[in-house]
Structure 1
Amino acid sequence: MRDKYTSGVTEIRADGSRRELQRAFVPEVPVALEYNGLSYAVMMASPADLEDFARGFALTEGLARTPSDMTDIAVAEVEHGWIVRAQLTGLGIEKLTERVRTRVAESSCGLCGIENLEAVSAPLPRVAGHETLAPGAIFAALGKLRDHQPLTKQTGAAHAAAFCTADGTILHAREDVGRHNAMDKLVGALAAAGQDVGDGFILSSARCSYEIVEKTVRAGATRLVTISLPTSMAVERAKAAGLGLWCLARDDSVLLVNDPKPAA
């Protein structure tokens, strides 16, 4: 990690003793996403895997339907942050130009570009049929997740999202200061790899909010496991889309929230 993300701090203990040490902090910088030369959003993110971020963001925001809708991704560090530029084709161009015209306030969540309450409740596509997920697969993935979290090992403050096979083997993982960004980076990495996500599951270190469910479904995944509890709307949306949902995952237990094909 670069020195700019490390700072001297004073550790104060309960007995009143103090010591000086160097502490690494999770990187958080402005990242501007530009498509077809138009500024779409400025996100606060960690400056790693930014090509995956731009690709996954376009897919989960509906700017692109397939990875081939986006080309010529270029990443550049500038004075005040980072810029990621890409070219879009297809139906996303119409949404892009409308977004720029209305200039809706920026956000790093799944509500980017939504202008009214009705749009929040727009139906999600139904996920593909899938088998139930064996609890052992969840515990296996949890046991290996930290091996795929170098930023968390350095800082203790990053979110992770991983794609796992049905037996719990982690194939892809991404980290970021934001839980939504980590998901977008993972979606972008899966798209770039041409990974079939229907038979595996996504594991997120974050709270299971509305946006995490939305991004999981739009990525084509069928099952989601999160380390924290879901919100009421996340549960509602997961059930409506037929998404398998397991939450509050721990080393020895997990909460089954929704399983469209429960075990016999």
Structure 2
Amino acid sequence: MRNIYMTIGDVSKIYGISKQTILYYEKLGLFLPAKIEDNGYRYYTLEECYRLEIILTLKKLNLSLKDIQDYVEHRGPHMLKTLLEDARYGFDREINDLYTNKMNLERTLFNLERYLKIPKNRLFFGMKEESFYALTPYDATEKGKKKLFTLLEHQARLIEEVPFKAIQIGMAIDGEDYEQGDIIKYSHYCTDVGFDYEGDMEIVTRPRGMYLEMFYTGLYEEQAQWMYDKVSSYLSYEGLQIAGSVYIEPVRNYWTETKREDYLSKITVPVEE
């Protein structure tokens, strides 16, 4: 059988792959015919089919064609062990990414349902667990295109680095500034990235503790003063003070709304006695 020749059409039919794919593998030097006639006809033997079987099987492990070619040309049991261990690591990463995406999806669904029912313009006081925020410094002197680039680059980096998540970019205000009435003196662009962020952006931990929280619709700066008055009144009545950065974040933005005035946002204020 080793001396029986098959055409490219035979190989294509047997393995269910196109002639174009076979020729592409040939161009890469990955899968060469046993001989090529002067008329361009290509012929393959059992040995080439064995090689093709290795290629098609290893492709199922999401290995690169370069790695597959390197293995096919220098194959041996120890090299196969290393190749399979690398593939296993890749699958472990994929499984972890799938799990993280599913958990973020479940969290997004939960929050969507919650935020459809949440009362607006009411202060909520209670315990919140720690959360993690990616920060980009806010420069009030930036204008026009430069300011736009800073904002979009913050989001673009997170889209690249974070598993599935509708990026909600907010603003942070230093707690002392807010307490003194500087209610639009932003310090950072901020995004809640969850506990499993592995990117390179600056991350701060919003600690577990007591918080004031209020949901509202519309633009923050148009409503900042009455919200500040409401927060200040509550703090004074309860004998509390601000204990860290204040976060203003959309919870429903352009992902679900077509008009900015319909955005649902929240302000979160850490407090202590």
Which has more strand, going by share of residues? 1
The TM-score normalised by the length of structure 2 is 0.28
Which has more helix, going by share of residues? 2
The TM-score normalised by the length of structure 1 is 0.29
Higher Cα Rg, which structure: 2
